[in-house]
A = this chain, B = another copy of it.
Amino acid sequence: MTSPSVISLPFGHFDSRNLLMASAAFVRNIWYMAAWAEEVADQDFITRTLLGSPWLIFRQSDGAWSMIADRCPHRFVPLSRGRRIGDTIQCGYHGLTFDGAGQCVGTPFPTPVPENARVRSLPIVERHRGLWFWPGDADKADPALIPDFSFMDTSQDKFGRLTMAANFELIADNLMDLSHAEMLHVDTFGANGSLYTHGKQTVSNGEDGSIQNNWDITDATPPPFAAPMLEEGGRIDQQIHMRWHAPACMALKVGIFKAGSETRDPVVPTMISPHILTPESDGSTHYFYSHEPSQQAEDMTMRVFLGEDEPMVGAAHVAMGGDDFWDLRPVILPSDAAAIRARRVLKQKRSAELQDH
């Protein structure tokens, strides 16, 4: 009899001046990854909710990238309901057109273009196959601050993105303590518990603000998938090395070597892969990843990410009921060392930005 009046908002709250994003909860003066460049390459534009607000991303004819707020400042409809005309986006409701800097540059009426009509635009650059945006003060947006993911430049891997229904810091916790694989990923990775018994964890800070979480397993039984590459009863050394940059840009290196070879004798090729997280909202996260180009590798990735990690991390998100992580007084384990350092870095950055305002 009635239509529902309660509408789920996939994004957050807009600032009343339509120019600033309400992102107090997110660090602003930092690079986030918005998309893989190849996602946008042959599209007129893509639209994506990032840090709680909808954005429209497109490449101009001169190759430069543009990222503008996906909300017309006239009657607030998504510009993405319109269409691209040359290097502008025309609103599909009343026909105002906006350029890649967010400025209104055209109207179908004979009246002048309204000067005050513009939407916010953000610095966005392509680097290491990704598009990176800076939601804070544009004059601080130095591309040299983008973390080094140059291993992706020439990678033959397949790049992917999925959305996980959990706060991005809970997912970063998961990645910064991969010991959980021995418990959560037994069915997929065939973990054998050797990390617990033969593993040594080393946490260190890099000069570039990175945090390194290294698990080194020595003289252990090989994991099931590596056993066939060894002689009967052969033992291995294993590196599981994760590097983190704020806000949550991670690179994982996994190597398996003959035991005692001091990493000179790899059993399988060493793999390095991105695990880059960007908040879609407080409660959902874009996860940028890669895998070998085979269908088998894609299937395994989906089983691990969507079948094992997301249900667990999503359940934690729900169980926290909107409360702050620290207010819940979490028990901290030694294996949390790197994850906790990362959380503290973000906490400090958020506090510093709030004080500046």
A18 CB contacts on chain B under 8 angstroms? 328-329
A13 CB contacts on chain B under 8 angstroms? 321-323
Most interface-central of A11, A75, A111, A317 (chain B CB within 10 A): A75
Interface membership of chain A positions 116-131, coded 1 if the CB is closer than 8 angstroms to chain B and 0 otherwise: 1100000000000000
Closest-CB distance, A12 to chain B (whole angstroms): 7
Tell me the bound Cα distance from A226 to B239 in angstroms: 75
Tell me the bound Cα distance from A91 to B183 in angstroms: 9
**Chain A contact residues (Cβ within 8 angstroms of B): what range?**
35 or more
A282 and B5 in contact, given A321-B12, A321-B13, A329-B18 (Cβ under 8 angstroms): yes
- The DSSP consensus for interface residues of chain A is loop
Copies of this chain, tallied across the complex? 3
A139 within 8 A of B: no
Contacts A14-B328, A74-B331, A109-B335 aside, 18 further interface pairs with beta carbons under 8 A come to A2-B284, A3-B10, A4-B10, A4-B284, A5-B9, A5-B10, A5-B11, A5-B165, A7-B283, A11-B321, A13-B321, A17-B329, A78-B315, A93-B316, A94-B333, A95-B183, A108-B183, A111-B334
Residues in chain A within 8 A of chain B (CB atoms): 1-14, 16-18, 47-49, 54, 71, 73-78, 81, 91-96, 104, 107-111, 114, 116-117, 163-165, 170, 173, 177, 179-180, 182-184, 193, 196-197, 280-284, 311-313, 315-323, 327-335
